[in-house]
Amino acid sequence: MTAAAPASDTPVPAMAAGGERGGVMTMVRYALRTHRWAFAGVSLIGFIGPYATGASYAKLAATAAARAAFGRQTTAFGPQLAYLVPLPFRPDTVAGYLWWKGLTWMSLLVAVWGLAAATGLMRNEEERGLMETWLSTPFSRVRLLLSRAGAFAIAALGAVLITALGTAAGLAAGKASVAFPALAEQGVSILGIALASFGIGLAAAQLASTRRSALALGGVVMLALYALDALARVNPGLDGWAAISPFHLADLTTAIVPGGQFAGAATLALFGIAVVLIALSALGFRRRDLLASLFGHRARQTAVVRSASTFPLVRIPVLRSLWQQRIGLAGWVIGSVAGAAFIVSIARSTGKLLQSASGFKNYFTEAGTSSATTAVVASVWLSIAALIIAAYAITQTSHWASEDAGGRLEMQIAQPLARWRVVVERAVTLVVAALFMAAVGSLVTAAIAPSQGVHLDSGGLVTATALLALLALTFGAVGAVVISRLPRIAVPALAVVAVVGFYIPLFAPLFKWPGWVLDLSLFHLYGTPLTTGVYWTGLWVMVAVVVVGWGVAVAAMRVREVGS
Amino acid sequence: MANAIRTEGLTKDYGEARGLFELGLEVAAGEVFGYLGPNGAGKTTTIRLLMDLIRPTRGRAEVFGVDCQAHPVDVKRLVGYLPGEMPQWGGLHGRDVVAYVGGLRGHIDPGRVTGLAERLELDLGRRYREYSSGNKRKLGLLLAFMHPSRLLVLDEPTSGLDPLIQQEFYRLVEEARGEGTTVFLSSHVLSEVERVCERVGILRRGQLVQVARLDELHHLRYHRLEADFVGEVPVDAVRALDGVEQVTVEDHHLSCAVRGGFGPLLQVLGKGQVLNLVTHEPSLEEVFLAYFRDAPEKPPAPPGAVA
């Protein structure tokens, strides 16, 4: 159903000031506002990542000989990570290394942003009733959808421009330069994958009936396309199929690298995918009902239920919260298991390579072991597990914020339930879920490790797993404090803590930052407990953050006003 | 009789004359009390203060003698609550929401839940997001009524309900009163208040302007009289009468409002040749509308001011 065009003599108050163009601009401005936090986050990473990568390259390989050696080692190491990122291209140059280590991840990041923006924006507005309001104005559905796509394109372009600035700054820090056209071509490629991903998300939003199912559907499609690209890298027989993957199309452009190329056809294909999918989505949006799938079926006739659920998990504290997020939690656990299995499966071959390459020796000596294979498991897997745990804690913070804003908190504390119990239940739920995810990942690691010739200390593994739960509780403490005062910025604030904390340990040794800077990173505080044992300073700092943070959250919950 | 609700100087000052000011209110145990006022008058603010969802700027509130701020959990054990806006339960089924809230309270009476679901014609097998606004309201009522409570605090309870379910709601309130439960309901639907309440408090711009029994408020009422004459209308004689207001004459048609008895007016009208005479009683709604329209606007008293 489409909004009918108003008759020429019909007064149109909403657009009286600026006519239909004014209405479009209003919609674009509104949509841009919804992107502001994601834009800030992506731009921040887009600048810092490439800059720091370029700057660190100058430290890692200061001379021509060192660069040549580093390039050989990275080229040899690259295939180990071919399931995750493209093969290195000219890593003996700062631009090549920056493309491989900085911009390929950036493509992945903007793709996730595009997907989340498209599914979240459209479906979230429908679920909150905003879409009904927009469509009650004399504004067609197609125009509305295009205004949303236009706003994302503007936001993505801004983030890409900042990424380009970061790239130029990184190259300059690495004592290299790049021509403006090459930088622009690389940026256009990244913009292309952002828009293509937005298109995929928008199409998924027409096929699903809820925001979560749209995100899940779009996520599965994106994951499949990512996997197709990854498989094609290690299996040339799939190369033809990989051409349908936006990730593959984006990876083909290496314009900033000496001897690299701008894959014009591939980039055009990315924009083509975006245009086609956005157009199809517009057609779908015109045809479907609000809050329904394009191919929605009639509801099945089911017996009327007049009784409360007797399922016990719905009523038991902590378990009821875990049960409500069971599907999402299953996804997180599957992600942890897949990550653990993948890292352990490549540990032996990667370890051998590291052992043979003098340039990488510091990676495992810093991990506190003479076995490079163990170092891969201890450092790489547990670093990834810590990131997964941090990301989970951020989603939980987002969940708490929506509980507070959506009236659930009001309903909870309108029951005979002390306010502190709400905070404690949140903390316990977080730690139980994180412990479960970490434990399953560790069990998989322990089960697969012997087949790879990796012998892990079971005590160390238990300690590392338990500390992951403490790490989650630490992130949660920060989130709980921010939520009690500034709920709207809690998620971005926690994301900044995570991103900055992730980069600090990477660059502190290279730039010889003092130890206290390292201790600002929660990931550094977690340490490498599997191989070097517990980092006690970090442990006590985390315990202090947990005690103070959750204590403040409890105190704030006791006095805060709800629903005012 | 003990008070179910008692407030003293209860104030929530949001600034710019918004909020609730110096509320002194007593609701007796076992009565059904209507809390009336236009949008933004402070009805929901009062309810949220009673439920300890927000904190007073000054003053205190008690439920059955228990301080709402000092012992909120004890208060909530006594209260069944329907919020003005239903929470977003998302994809949870209705039956799960009932079990969840029941779990927060510690127990559920399955028979009571089933009985309420049947009376409210609510299918608990559907997901919350699939509910219409009326069904969401029904679920809220079920959650408020599903456990035994001494006080029901209901914020705009019939908003979005169809007339049949509204009738069922009125019966639920009657039954609750029969069991000795106090009901405190906010509304701006006067017919609803007229139907179920014994007393009402009228709130305007954050201040309680009147508390009265409904029959006392009926004394505010007047009758409107319309009369058609064959000849001249004795308009001067009518205007001279006490208790006769808003007199208008158009051609041979007289219209006026009459407070108190009709005797003196009928005597005057008898001097003319009346062709047709009609009287009707305005609804309570019209009475309140006239009240709110005519009452002078009083700004809230500043802290410490002497009335």
Provide the mean pLDDT of chain B.
88
Question: Taking CB atoms and an 8 Å cutoff, what residues of chain B touch A563?
Answer: 48, 53-54, 83
Question: Taking CB atoms and an 8 Å cutoff, what residues of chain B touch A311?
Answer: 96, 99
Question: Taking CB atoms and an 8 Å cutoff, what residues of chain A touch B110?
Answer: 307-308, 310
Q: Is A418 on the interface with B (CB under 8 A)?
A: yes
Q: What is the pLDDT of residue A11?
A: 40
Rg (CA), chain B: 24
pTM across the whole model: 0.80
Q: Is B51 on the interface with A (CB under 8 A)?
A: yes
Q: How far apart are CA A337 and CA A339, in angstroms?
A: 5
Cα A173-A179-A184 angle, rounded to 5 deg: 100
The whole-angstrom distance between B202's CA and the closest CA on chain A is 22
Name the pLDDT band for B222 (thresholds 50, 70, 90): confident
Question: Taking CB atoms and an 8 Å cutoff, what residues of chain A touch B83?
Answer: 407, 410-411, 414, 563
Residues sharing a CB contact under 8 Å with residue A297, sequence separation 6 or more, in sequence order:
none
Q: Is B52 on the interface with A (CB under 8 A)?
A: yes
Give yes or no for residue B299 having a pLDDT over 50: no
Q: Is B162 on the interface with A (CB under 8 A)?
A: no
Question: Taking CB atoms and an 8 Å cutoff, what residues of chain A touch B53?
Answer: 410, 413-414, 561-564
Helix (H) or strand (E) holding A447: helix A419-448
Q: How far apart are CA A395 and CA A437, in angstroms?
A: 14
Q: What ipTM was assigned to the predicted interfaces of this complex?
A: 0.78
Question: Taking CB atoms and an 8 Å cutoff, what residues of chain B touch A411?
Answer: 83, 87, 101, 143
Homologous superfamily, domain B3-218: P-loop containing nucleotide triphosphate hydrolases (3.40.50.300)
Q: For chain A, which residues make up each domain, given as ranges?
A: 18-294, 315-564
Q: Is A324 on the interface with B (CB under 8 A)?
A: yes
Q: Is A316 on the interface with B (CB under 8 A)?
A: yes
Option in A309, A315, A407 nearest B87 (CB): A407
Q: How far apart are CA A52 and CA A167, in angstroms?
A: 9
Chain B, nearest residue to A564 by Cα: B54
Burial-class residue A178 by CB neighbours within 10 Å (0-12, 13-18, 19+): buried
Closest Cα to residue A424, out of A476, A495, A490, A491? A476
Beta strands B58-63 and B32-36: pairing type? unpaired
Q: What is the pLDDT of residue B149?
A: 94
Q: Is B118 on the interface with A (CB under 8 A)?
A: yes
Q: What is the pLDDT of residue A231?
A: 87
Q: How far apart are CA A241 and CA B212, in angstroms?
A: 79
The whole-angstrom distance between A484's CA and the closest CA on chain B is 14
Residue percentage of chain B with pLDDT more than 70: 90
Chain A, nearest residue to B115 by Cα: A306
| pLDDT tens, chain A, 564 aa long | 333 343 444 344 444 444 556 677 887 888 888 888 889 989 999 998 899 888 888 887 878 888 898 888 888 878 877 777 888 999 999 999 999 988 998 999 999 999 999 988 778 888 877 888 888 877 889 988 999 999 999 999 999 999 999 999 999 988 888 889 999 999 999 999 999 999 999 999 999 988 888 988 999 999 999 989 988 888 888 888 888 999 999 999 999 999 999 999 999 999 999 999 999 999 999 998 888 888 876 666 678 999 999 888 888 899 999 998 898 899 899 988 888 888 888 777 777 766 666 655 665 565 555 666 777 777 777 788 899 999 999 999 999 998 888 899 999 999 999 999 999 999 999 999 999 999 999 999 889 888 877 778 888 889 999 999 999 999 999 999 999 888 888 888 898 899 889 888 877 877 788 889 999 999 999 988 887 889 999 999 999 999 999 999 999 999 999 875
CA distance between the termini of chain B? 29
Helix or strand or coil: residue B222? coil
Q: What is the pLDDT of residue A8?
A: 41
Q: Position A260: which residue type?
A: G
Q: What is the pLDDT of residue A366?
A: 57
Higher pLDDT, A289 or B61: B61
Residues sharing a CB contact under 8 Å with residue B295, sequence separation 6 or more, in sequence order:
B204, B209
Closest Cα to residue B146, out of B88, B91, B99, B178? B99
Q: What is the pLDDT of residue B53?
A: 93
Higher pLDDT, A369 or B277: B277
Name the pLDDT band for B248 (thresholds 50, 70, 90): very high
The whole-angstrom distance between B79's CA and the closest CA on chain A is 8
Beta strands B3-15 and B18-28: pairing type? antiparallel
Report the residue count for chain A: 564
Do A406 and B73 make contact, defined as CB atoms within 8 angstroms? no
Q: Considering the domain B222-281 in this protein, what is its CATH number?
A: 3.30.70
Neighbours of A370 (CB within 10 A): 11
Q: Is B117 on the interface with A (CB under 8 A)?
A: yes
Chain A, nearest residue to B126 by Cα: A305
Strand order from edge to edge, sheet including B18-28: B18-28, B3-15, B58-63, B66-67
The residues that bridge with A255 in the sheet, in sequence order, are none
Helix or strand or coil: residue A419? helix
Option in A306, A320, A415 nearest B105 (CB): A415
Q: What is the pLDDT of residue A222?
A: 94
C-beta separation of A111 from A193 below 8 A: yes
Q: Position A188: which residue type?
A: V
Higher pLDDT, A117 or B39: A117
Option in B72, B89, B99 nearest A308 (CB): B99
Question: Taking CB atoms and an 8 Å cutoff, what residues of chain A touch B79?
Answer: 414
C-beta separation of A544 from A535 below 8 A: no
Q: Is A310 on the interface with B (CB under 8 A)?
A: yes
Q: For chain B, which residues make up each domain, given as ranges?
A: 3-218, 222-281
Question: Taking CB atoms and an 8 Å cutoff, what residues of chain B touch A304?
Answer: 123, 125
Do B53 and A406 make contact, defined as CB atoms within 8 angstroms? no
For chain B positions 122-141, those within 8 Å of chain A (CB to CB) are: 122-126, 129
Rg (CA), chain A: 25
Q: What is the pLDDT of residue B289?
A: 67
Question: Taking CB atoms and an 8 Å cutoff, what residues of chain A touch B87?
Answer: 406-408, 410-411
Do B98 and A309 make contact, defined as CB atoms within 8 angstroms? yes
Give yes or no for residue B306 having a pLDDT over 50: no
Q: Is B53 on the interface with A (CB under 8 A)?
A: yes
Residue percentage of chain B with pLDDT more than 90: 63
Do B54 and A563 make contact, defined as CB atoms within 8 angstroms? yes
